[in-house]
Amino acid sequence: MTRAPAIHRRYPADEDGDEPDRSAEEDLVSERWWWSLKHDRVVSDEERGPDHEVLGPYPTREAAADWRRTVDERNEEWKAEDERWAGDDQPDADDDPEASEQP
């Protein structure tokens, strides 16, 4: 299988131009899959378009096809975290000098 040329390097080359060692996890993943927003289907590295036209990468074709569930789960997690943060951003009445002043 021929890999698509990288748009950018994840790891910079050393001064001799050699690629550094990749992580063991990357060595296990030989193919990456994407969901094409333009074509509304799963695509491989070789078929993928520009970054703004795809979601991923996903480790399997099936995971890419199930992109909606993954996106929905992440959005719910992020929404819950935003709500937790929103509660922490409010100043306490004890910390606000104007709140204790009465006219």
pLDDT in tens, the chain (103 residues): 444 444 433 444 556 665 555 454 444 557 899 999 999 999 999 999 999 999 999 999 999 999 999 999 999 999 999 999 988 655 555 555 565 555 5
Q: If we measure between CA atoms, which residue out of 82, 100, 80 comes closest to residue 92?
A: 100
Q: Output the DSSP codes for 71-102.
A: HHHHHHHHHHHHHHHHHHHSPPGGG-HHHH--
Determine the Cα–Cα distance for residues 49 and 71; give it in Å rounded to an integer: 20
